[in-house]
Amino acid sequence: MKILVCISHVPDTTSKINFTSDSTEFDTNGVQFVINPYDEFALTRAIWFQEKQGATVTVVNVGDATTEPTLRKALAIGADEAIRIDAKPTDGFYVAQQIAEVYRNGEYDLILTGKESIDYNGGMVPGLLASFLDIDYINACIGLEIEGNTVSASREIDGGTEKLSATLPIVIAGQKGLVEEKDLKIPNMRGIMMARKKPLTVVPAIESTTTTQITNFEKNAEKSACKMVDANNLDELINLLHNEAKVI
């Protein structure tokens, strides 16, 4: 089984976010980038199939050379090879078109992705991939087993869990539950050394179009100062809640 895992290069959740060029571009200065957490669940499940069933795991990313440390980390975790599509990921439509071309050239059986990336939270790429490739798609996946050509999956729905069956090839968009956080793999020294010798191929982007354009970013309003009320002064608390906060 050949597995293609989509890897997004995203800011660490502890990063301080700023914008430049009249709030039209994300400021990368001083920002630490990591593997998108949802993609990390997908990658860990792919490595499980590698260990249990002998699957080969390829990771793919759309980005410039600055994303290569993130791909190297994925190789250190256990992926067999990496592909970087040399282009700026302008929107989900563009990214999905680029990854679809890699899939067509690689004859993969399974595409694993996170359900969304934590930077722009578009959630577009997995569904678009399935549409471009005309294959099945399961979103919000929290359980995945594959025997031969048969896929058994669970996905989260409102108020419960849905069980599904399908056949390869398929796109699976995962989240926490696909593997648990305690099962996420941390690169060890041996993995880091081996990652330096694993192939990281850079391929040119195909001609494509973008369907959306960022006009500007706006940061959330800063939190207002907190007012402390003496625990015994209920009258003041009620007054503030009623007249100032207007919640009662």
Backbone angles phi, psi at 190, to 5 degrees: -65, -45
Please say if the pLDDT value at position 62 is more than 90. Answer: yes
pLDDT in tens, 101-142: 999 999 899 999 999 999 989 999 999 999 999 999 999 999
pLDDT of amino acid 168: 98
End-to-end Cα spacing for the chain: 60
Secondary structure in 3-state letters for 129-169: HHHHHCCEEEEEEEEEEEECCEEEEEEEECCEEEEEEEECC
Q: Which residues contact 85 (CB under 8 A, 6 or more apart)?
A: 60, 61, 62, 63, 98, 99, 102, 203, 204, 205
Nearest CA among 109, 73, 85, 34 for reference residue 201: 85
**pLDDT digit string, tens, across residues 162-195:** 999 999 999 999 999 999 999 998 899 999 999 9
- pLDDT for 44 equals 97
What's residue 142's pLDDT?
A: 97
Domains detected in the chain: 2-221 (3.40.50.620)
Per DSSP, helices labelled H in the chain are 37-53, 68-77, 92-106, 125-133, 189-195, 234-239
Low-confidence winner among 20-29, 84-93, 160-169, 199-208 (lowest mean pLDDT)? 20-29
Cα diameter, the chain: 71
Using a 10 angstrom Cβ sphere, with 0-12 exposed, 13-18 middle and 19 or more buried, the burial of residue 163 is: exposed
Report pLDDT for 244.
86
| SS3 label, residue 228 | coil
